[in-house]
Structure 1
Amino acid sequence: MMNALYKKIIPLALLVSLLAPSCRKGFLDTVPDNITTLKDIFTNKAMTEQWLARCYSIMPSMWDQPYNNVWSGQSDEVDYAWVQPGINSGAITPDNASPNNWNPYYQTIRQCAIFIRDAGQNKEIQEQPNGQQLLKQYIAEARFLRAYYYWLMMKQYGPVVLMGEEPKAPDADFQIPRSSWDECVDYVLSEMDKAFPDVPVVHVNAGSGEIDKTQIGRITQPVIAAVRSQVLLFHASPLFNGNTELANFKNLDGKQLFNQTYDKERWKRAADAALAVINLNRYELFRETNADPFQAAFLSYRNLFFDGYTKEAIWIRSASADGHWERHVSPRASNGNAWNGVAVTQEMVDAFRMADGKAITDPAGGYSETGFTNTATNFYVAGTYNMYVGREPRFYVNVTFNGATIPVVPDAQYSRVEFFFTGNSGKNGAPRDWPSTGYTARKNVHPTTDFRNNKYVARPTMMIRLAEIYLNYAEALNEYEPGHADVLKYLNEVRDRAGLPSLTGGSQEELRKEIRLERQLELMFEGHRYWDVRRWKIPGLPESHQGGQFHGMNIEKGTSLSDPEFHKRTVVFTRAAWHPRFYFYPVPQSEIDRNKVLVQFPGY
C-alpha cells in the first residue's frame, strides 16, 4: 500500500526504492541513479518533492519489531525469539553494534541539508498558487527532519558530530569532534524553532479548508512542539543534567561533553514545553463508553491504537509495520499460526496493578499466586491461574498469558491460549515459535486480524500521543515544583482513562515513582522504556534492572491449562550484568578510524 504521506508526490516504484533499507547508499552518494545533476532535481517540481519524501523515508516506527526497532527487546519489556542484540549478552562492540544508525542518519541529515540549500532555486514550485509559502514549508520540513535525526542519534550515541548548515563537499575536512551534549540540544532546538513558523498547524486541502488526509505524517507546528517536549524532558533528566559520573567523557582536547552542574531550571523548560502542547487544545485522551467502567477502560486503551489516533495522536506515521508486529507477537493458536515470539517478562507482568489500583505486593489488593479461577470472563477462561485474575484493564490489553482468550479471531476448536509445554502455543514441537517467558505482547493486535488470509486492519502509527505529553508534564512539574496541583491532575487523567482510582496526594518521591510506573505501563512496547530507565539512571536497580536474571513461567513443563508445574516463577534468560557503557551505543569503529578526533564512549 502506498504511504499516504507520499501519495501525491511519489510514484509507487520510486517510493519502494526509497524506503527499502537495502537500497541505502553511501554517505556522500545522494543523487538517484538516473539523475545527472542536483540542478536537474531542484529545478523540477516533482523531483524536488521526491527528494523531500526521501528525507522522510528513514523515519522509524516503534512497531517495526523485532528486526529493525529492537529497543523493547533490549529493555526489561520483552525477549525476542529470533533476535538477540549484542547489548543483551554484553558482546556489543564498535564493530558489531546493531542497530547501526550512525551512517543512515548522517546520510539522511546530508540529504536534508542539500534540500535546504538547493530547494529555493525551484521556480516551478514558486510559480504555483501560494508557491512561495509552499517552498518555505518544504524547506522548514527538511530543517526539522535534519534536527530530528540528530536527536535520534543523540539518544542512541550521546553527543554527536554537528555537521553545520552547509553540506560538505566530498573532499572537505571531515575531522570533526563531537559537540557537547548541551551544544547538541541547543542546536536541535534552535533548528526546530526556525522551522516552526513555516509549517502549518494542520495540513488542509486548498480551497475547501478540510484536513488533507493524504498528508498524514507531514510535519506541523504541534509535531514540532511535541518533539521539543521530548528533547527538553531528556535534557532535564539525571543522565544529562549534572551527571558527574560522565566527567571523564571528553574530547581529545579536554572539552567536557556532559555538563557537570545540575540545573533545576531545565525541569521548568521541560514542563513549559509540555504545557504548551496541552494548551493547544487540539487533542484529547481517547475514550470508549460502556456501562461497565472496567470494560470502558479496557476498550479505551485497546481501541486507542485502532481508532484513537483521530483524537489523541499528535504525530502520526501513515506507513507502519503493524501487520509485521501482529504476526510476531500473536500466539500460534491464532488463526493461520502466528509466530509467537515476543515474550513479555515476568517483571512487566508484576508491574501491573490490581483492578483497584493496588500493587500486587499490597496484602489488601487480593492478589494471589495460589490456585486457579472457576470463573471465565471475556479476558480469560475458567481454569486460569489466579495470578492473572483481577488485574487492571491495561494488563489484559498488553499481555497474552496462559488461559487468555485468543487475541485475534479464533478457530472454532480453540477458545484459549495455552503456553504450557504441550499446549496449542507451547514449546513442544515448535522449533522456535514459542515465548521464553510464557507470555507474549498483545497491545496493537487488532481483534479481527486474519493471518490465514493475510488480512490486516490498516491504521496509522501514533509517533507521539497526548498521554505521553501529560506524563512529560507531570514528571517535569513534579521535579521543578512538587506539590503543584497539575502534577496530580494530569497524572490522574491518564490513570482515570486506564480505569484506576485517582491519587489524592503524595510526596515528591512517591509521585516520582507513580509517574515512572505510569510511563512503564501506559507506554509499554511504544519505544520509551529503554530510554526512560537510562535517562533516569536506574537501569541497575532491582525494580528496573536491564541486566541479570529475568523471569517467566516454566515453559518446559505442563500438560494442562491448570498444571502447577508450568505456573512457577522461573529464571528464563539471563542478560549481561548492567555496565555504564550501556547508557549509549558505541560509534562504529570504521568511523573512529576515519575521524581521528572522534572519541568513543567510555567502556568500548
Structure 2
Amino acid sequence: MEPVSGYNCSSTAHRFVASGIVQRLKKWAPVLCVILAGGCKKYLDVVPDNVATIDNAFKLKQEATKYLATCYSYLPASGDLETNPAICAGDEFWMVAPYAVSESPWRIAMGNQSAGTIYLSSWSHLFSAFRDCNIFLENIDKVVDMTAAEKNKWSHEVKFLKAYYHWMLLRMYGPIPVTDVNLPVAASSDEAQRPRQSVDSVINYITNLLNEAASGLPLTIADRARDLGHITKPIALAIKARVLVTAASPLFNGNQDYAAFKNYDGASLFNPVYEVFKWERAAAACKEAIAACDAAGMRLYKFNKLGLALSDNMVTQMSIRNSVTEAWNAEIIWNNTKGRYGATDRTYTLQRFAMPRLDPARITNEMSQGSLAPTLKIAELFYSGNGVPINEDRDWDYANRYKLRTAKTAESEYVTDGYQTAVLHFNREPRFYADLAFDGAVWYMQNGIFNVQSKNGQLQSRKGTLDYNATGYFAKKLVNWKYVIKDGQELVIEDYAWPEMRLADLYLLYAEALNELNGPGAEAFDQINKVRARAGLKTVQESWTNHSVQPGKYQTKEGFRQIIQQERLIEFAMEGSRFWDLRRWKRTYEELNKPVMGWDVDQEDAAYYYRPRLRYQQTFKTREYFWPLDYWDLLGNKRLVQTYGW
C-alpha cells in the first residue's frame, strides 16, 4: 500500500492540512505530550487510517466519485453570512451586538483583525484543498471502470478547482506559495519550506491552469438532473476573466504601497511598475468568456409574467430580483451549490436574517428577523430615476434628501400610497426598489403585496434584541419571492444556490477592461448598456447628456471609469462583489474610513426617525487589503514571510 502523497512532517502548511490538525494540536498539546511520553512504541505501530483509504479510493468509479466530491467540498459556502467575509466584513451591512450570528465578520468590519487574532482565515483549509486535488489528479487514471472521456472531464474539473482555490488564497493573502504537486514522503525539511511566490507568477499559474481546465470541460451540463453544480467551460473562462481583470487592477498592477513587500531572500513580491498589457490580456479573456456564454445560450434574465397582471415597472423589478434568487436561470454562469451545513442550507439562513416579519397576520413568527441591515451609504449609492448618481442629477433634490415627503397614488408601486417617508426614497432607479425595502416600501411576494412600516412600534420594527434592524433598510434582493412566513416557527423558504458569477458581471468586467485599455468606445458602451437596459435605464450616453451636471463625464477614461465602477457597485450590491471590488480598485481605504450610518430606528415619529444616525465609525489601514498569517505557520516555515504591514 502506498502512503498519502505529499504528507511531510517538516512543514506546517503540508503537515497539518488534511483536517485542521493545527487547531486541535494547540488545544490538545499538553495531553498529547503525556500520551506520547508514556507510550510511543505502542502508537507508532498503528498504520495511519488514510493509507488504506487512498489505496482503495481510485480502484472503482463509485469510490473515485467520493474523492471528486471531496475536491468540491472545499468550495466556500458563499451564501453564508457567517463565513463569507464579502457579505458582512465590509460596509454594505451592519448589525449591532448581541449578534444573532458569528461575530467574526463584524470583528473584521470594525478593524479588530490582528496577527494574533485572525478571523475567517482560509490558509490551512485551502492548503488541504490543494493536497486533495493533487491526490485526485495523480490517481484518477488508476480507476478501472471509467472511460477515458470520464476521467478526462473529471480531471479538468479538478484542475479548475485547484486553480480556484489558489485564486481564493491569492485574493485574501496576496503572494502565496503555489502547490502544483504534493511533496513526496521522503522530501527533506528544506524542500518543505515553500516560500511565497510573486503575485504575477501566481496569477500566471492560475490562468494557465484555468486554460487547461477549460480545454476539457463541456459547454453545458448534459445531464442536469445529475450533474448541476459541476464546472463547465463558461465557468472556467469567466473566472479567468475575473482573475485577469483583478490582476490588471490597481491593487496588483503597479501598486507602490506594496513595493517593500519582499520575500525571505529579498526578492520583490509585488511589481510596482504599471503594465498596460495586463488590461489587454484581461479584455481578451472577457471577450472569450462572453463568447462561450453566448454559445451556451446564456442571456440576461427577464422575469416571465406567468399569467400575472404585473406592470412593466414591476416586471423590471422582478427581473432584477430573480436574476439572483432564481437558481439555474439563464443569466447565472456559476451557481455554487455549497452550503455551510450541506446543500439544504445554501441561503436559507441568509434569507431568514434578510427578511423582516413581513406578513401582518404572522407577525409573531420568530424565524424571520430582518436584522441584516444595508447601510445608508448603500441606499444613497443607487441612481436617480434618470439613471445618474443622485448627487449629479440636475433635477433631483439631493440637498433635501433627508426631508419628508408623502407618497402619491401614482407612486404606489414603490412607496405605500399616502405614506410619509424620506425624499431619498422617491424617484430612484428600479434596482433601488428591487434591492432594498425601507419604511414605507412596497414588497411584492408570490403570496401577496406587503407594506413595510418600520418605525418604533410598527409591524416591522424591533421586537427583541436579536431581530434588531440597525439602519432601517432591508435586503429585499436576497430574499426569494417564494419565501412564505407561516404560523409559529414555520417557514417555507425556496433555498437557492449562490450566484457565484452572473453574465452581467462579465459584461461590466469587459467594459472596464476596454476602457482602461483604450478609453470610452462603442464596444465598452454596449456592454454596460446591456446591463442598464435590463435595469430599466437609458444608455449611459443619453442619461449623462440629458440629466447629469457633468454631461461629458462618460467621454473621458477617468469619468467613464467612475461610471463603470458605480454601475458595478449597484448591479452587484449585497452579492459579495463590493468587498473585493473596492480592494482591487484600492478604494477600500477611502470607503471603509467613512462612518456607518442609518436612520434613527428607535423613534416613533417620522420627523425624528429620518435623522441619519451614526452606527459605527469604521477605520481601515493599508495593511488590511490582505490577511495576516498565523504565527504557527510562520514558525513552521522559515521561508514564509508575514503579510506586509502586519
TM-score (norm 2): 0.82
Deviating beyond 6 angstroms after TM superposition, the runs of 4 or more aligned structure 1 residues are 31-35
Residue identity in the other structure for 2:523:
D
Q: How does 1:563-582 map to 2 (within 5 A)?
A: 563-575=606-618, 577-582=619-624
In structure 2, the CA distance between the partners of 1:443 and 1:167, relative to structure 1 (3 Å rule), is: farther
Going from structure 1 to structure 2, the CA distance change for 1:598 and 1:319 (only over 3 Å counts) comes to closer
Equivalent pairs: percent with the same residue?
A: 28
* Structure-2 change in CA distance of 1:32 and 1:433 (3 Å): farther
Amino acid paired to 2:348:
G
Deviations 1:436-489 (A, max 9, x none): 111121113122312433312244332211100000000000000113211111
* 2:514 aligned partner: 477
SS where residue 94 of structure 2 aligns?
strand
| Residue of structure 2 aligned with 1:77, choices 73, 92, 100 | 92
Deviations 1:200-233 (A, max 9, x none): 222324xxxxxx3321111111111001101100
3-state DSSP of counterpart to 2:480: coil
Specify which of 377, 382, 400 is matched with residue 352 of structure 1.
382
Residues 442 and 500 from structure 1, CA distance in 2 versus in 1: closer, same or farther, beyond 3 angstroms? same
Structure 1 residues 455 and 292, CA gap change in structure 2 (3 angstroms): closer
- Mark the CA change 1:340 to 1:296 in structure 2 (over 3 Å): closer, same or farther: closer
Question: In structure 1, what is the equivalent of residue 270 of structure 2?
Answer: 258
Q: Which has the larger radius of gyration?
A: 2
Distance 1:358 1:37 in 2: 59
| Residue in structure 2 matched with residue 546 of structure 1 by the alignment | 592
Give the counterpart letter for 2:253 in structure 1. Answer: N
**More moved, 297-306 vs 372-381:** 372-381
**1:214-263 C-alpha deviation (Å, 9 max, x unpaired):** 21111111111001101100000011011121111001210100012111
- Report the equivalent of 2:39: none
Of 328, 331, 339, which aligns to 2:353?
328
Say yes or no: does 1:585 pair with 2:627. yes
**Aligned mates of 1:35, 1:328 — CA distance in 2:** 44
Work out the CA distance in 2 between the residues paired with 1:217 and 1:94: 36
- Alignment of 1:118 onto 2:118: no
Using the alignment, how far apart are the partners of 2:273 and 2:389 within structure 1?
A: 36
Q: Helix, strand or coil: the match of 2:481?
A: coil
The aligned counterpart of 2:475 is: 441
Aligned counterparts, 1:355-504, within 5 A: 355-361=385-391, 362-366=393-397, 368-375=401-408, 377-381=412-416, 382-385=418-421, 386-406=423-443, 415-427=450-462, 429-452=463-486, 453-504=490-541
Partner of 1:49: 65
Q: CA 1:342 to 1:458, structure 2 compared with 1: closer, same or farther past 3 Å? A: closer
Distance 1:327 1:33 in 2: 40
CA offsets, 1:153-208, max 9 Å, x none? Answer: 10011111112323443865321110110111111111122222222222324xxx
User: Over residues 535-571 of structure 1, what are the superposed CA-to-partner deviations in whole Å (9 max), with x where a residue is unaligned?
Assistant: 1111233xxx113411110123225xxx210011121
2:153 is matched by which residue type in structure 1?
A: Q
State the one-letter code of the partner of 1:383: Y
Instruction: Give 1:404 shift.
Output: 1.8
| Mapped partners of 1:27, 1:38: distance in 2 | 22
Equivalent of 2:213, from 195, 215, 218?
195
The change in CA–CA distance for 1:74 and 1:170 in structure 2 (over 3 A counts) is farther
Contact 2:594 2:617 in 1 (8 A): yes
Which position in structure 1 is the counterpart of 2:253? 241
Q: 1:167 to 1:50 in 2, by over 3 A?
A: farther
1:316 alignment counterpart: 335
TM-superposed deviation, 1:34: 8.2
Equivalent-residue separation in structure 2 for 1:500 and 1:146 (angstroms):
40
C-alpha contact 1:44 1:122 (8 A) present in aligned 2: yes
Aligned: 1:305 with 2:324: yes
- 5 Å-filtered alignment, 1:4-43, equals 24-26=19-21, 36-43=52-59
CA offsets, 1:50-101, max 9 Å, x none?
0111111121243211x11132222221113423533223221123221111
- Which of the residues 603, 606, 612 maps onto 1:557? 603
- Per-residue deviation at 1:592? 1.3
The question of 1:108 aligning with 2:129 is answered: yes
CA distance in 2, matches of 1:62, 1:163: 24
Q: 1: CA distance between counterparts of 2:451 and 2:216?
A: 53
Unpaired segments of 5 or more residues in structure 2?
Answer: 1-17, 25-46, 340-345, 542-553
Contact residue 479 and residue 508 of structure 1 kept, 8 A:
yes
User: 1:308: Cα distance to partner?
Assistant: 7.2
1:534 counterpart = 2:583: yes
**SS at 1:39 equivalent:** helix
Could you say if the C-alpha distance between residues 311 and 478 of structure 1 is closer, same or farther in structure 2, counting changes exceeding 3 Å?
same
Q: Secondary structure at the match of 1:299?
A: helix
Shift of 1:289: 6.6
Q: Distance in 2 between matches of 1:32 and 1:528?
A: 42
Deviations 1:502-522 (A, max 9, x none): 122521111111100011010
> Over aligned residues, Cα RMSD in angstroms?
2.5
- Structure 1 residue ranges without an equivalent (≥5): 1-22, 126-130, 206-211
- 1:285 partnered with 2:300: yes
Q: Would you tell me which structure has more helix in proportion to its own residues?
A: 2
Q: Are the counterparts in 1 of residues 325 and 479 from structure 2 also a CA contact under 8 Å?
A: no
Return the alpha-carbon distance in structure 2 between the equivalents of residues 137 and 503 of structure 1.
42
Q: CA deviation at 1:528?
A: 1.0
- Partners of 2:285 and 2:386 in 1: CA distance: 33
The alpha carbon displacement at 1:369 in A equals 3.1
1:512 to 1:246, Cα distance in 2 relative to 1, 3 A: same
Q: Cα–Cα, structure 1 residues 558 and 259, in superposed 2: closer, same or farther, change >3 Å?
A: same
2:10 alignment counterpart: none
Q: What residue identity is the alignment partner of 1:346? A: L
- CA distance in 1 between counterparts of 2:556 and 2:112 reads 41
- Please state whether the residue corresponding to 2:280 is helix, strand or coil: helix
**Residue 373 of structure 1, CA deviation:** 1.7
2:218 and 2:510 map into 1 onto residues whose CA distance is 24
Q: Which residue pairs with 2:572 in the alignment? A: 523
* CA distance in structure 1 between the partners assigned to 2:602 and 2:290 by the alignment: 49
Q: Which residue of 2 aligns with 1:600?
A: 642
Report how many residues are paired: 559
- Select between 317-326 and 583-592 the one with higher mean Cα deviation: 317-326
Q: Which moved more, 1:82-91 or 1:32-41?
A: 32-41
| Equivalent residues of 1:236, 1:270 under 8 A apart | yes
Distance 2:635 2:68 in 1: 32
- Distance, in Å, in 2 between the alignment partners of 1:387 and 1:537 is 28
